[in-house]
Amino acid sequence: MSDKLTEIMAWKRSEIAPLVRAVPESELAHLDASWPRPPSFLSALRRPDRKLAVISEIKRRSPSAGDIKASASSIDQAMRYQAAGADALSVLTDEKFFGGTLDDLRGVTAYFAGTPPARPCIRKDFFVHPIQVLQAREAGASAILIIVRALTDEEIKTLAAAATAAGLDALFEIHTEPEIDRAVRHGAKIIGVNNRDLAIFKTDLGLSERLIPKFPRDVVAVSESGILTGADAARVRAAGAQALLVGEALMKAADPAALVAEFRRE
């Protein structure tokens, strides 16, 4: 089976190639100082009641699931997640493989700006260059995604520094034990285990159970993908997860609030 992640990353590099230019950290810092500060993604994941934080994802389709909710309005979905008590949102902005756009992110963050309480949003995309970090900050994101296995150490260093300069948090996504060490070396404060192997799109919650106990204690641990029920949430919480990132189950849920409550049930 072909490596889907390699295909996606190759497409992403070609897609953004016309936009690529030098983006100095000073430009990102000026942007951060000039634009309204988004709510903290990191703080949202550290719930004072120690219940699982829920990052609810807006995802219309995926290579593994096909169409999930192809015609979904990002604003309507954000409203549902806000009402459901989600701690943060993940907004897919990749169009070719996931059916999202930067306009989805812009619309959702603008909605939250006018309708408190705001929820921090992570721009969920395949980051390869600081120009995407600049786009994320301009669109109102609170965080970016860094997929460790898809990037060189130099690329990770550059993206992490760009995020810091722009006032954004970074979710470092890992899938193997050596990738934990790489994320930590680059200053990761939030590390997510993707239970879905992006090379072959096989999902295994046991991955969170094996890897999260190996995280440094001061890192916020997130379990991503394959979490469908309260029992799934309980498994990864027992392994040390402090937050969940859930897309497909919440997109399909008739009652997102009930599912969020089920995830948090002790």
Q: What is the pLDDT of residues 216-259, one digit of tens each?
A: 999 999 999 999 999 999 999 999 999 999 999 999 999 999 99
Residue 257 is assigned to a structural domain of this protein: yes
Residue 22 is assigned to a structural domain of this protein: no
Q: What percent of the chain stands above pLDDT 90?
A: 86
Closest to 126 in 3D by CA, of 157, 161, 151: 151
- CATH value at residue 212: 3.20.20.70
Q: Are 163 and 38 in contact (CB under 8 A)?
A: no
Domain range for 47:
4-16+39-264
User: What number is the average pLDDT over the span 3-18?
Assistant: 94
**Residue 96: enclosing H or E segment and its boundaries?**
helix 95-98
Residue 264 makes CB contacts below 8 A (sequence gap 6+) with 51, 52, 54, 233
Residue 124 is assigned to a structural domain of this protein: yes
Residue 256 is assigned to a structural domain of this protein: yes
Q: Are 139 and 160 in contact (CB under 8 A)?
A: no
- Model confidence at 203, pLDDT cuts 50, 70, 90, reads confident
Residue 24 is assigned to a structural domain of this protein: no
Beta carbons within 10 angstroms of residue 257's beta carbon: 14
The predicted-structure confidence for 106-116, as pLDDT tens digits, reads as follows 999 999 988 88
Residue 175 is assigned to a structural domain of this protein: yes
Residue 26 is assigned to a structural domain of this protein: no
Residue 25 is assigned to a structural domain of this protein: no
Determine the Cα–Cα distance for residues 162 and 139; give it in Å rounded to an integer. Answer: 15
Parallel, antiparallel, or unpaired: how do β-strands 196-197 and 202-203 relate? Answer: antiparallel
Domain count of the chain? 1
Least confident of 13-22, 66-75, 231-240: 66-75
Residue 68, pLDDT score:
81
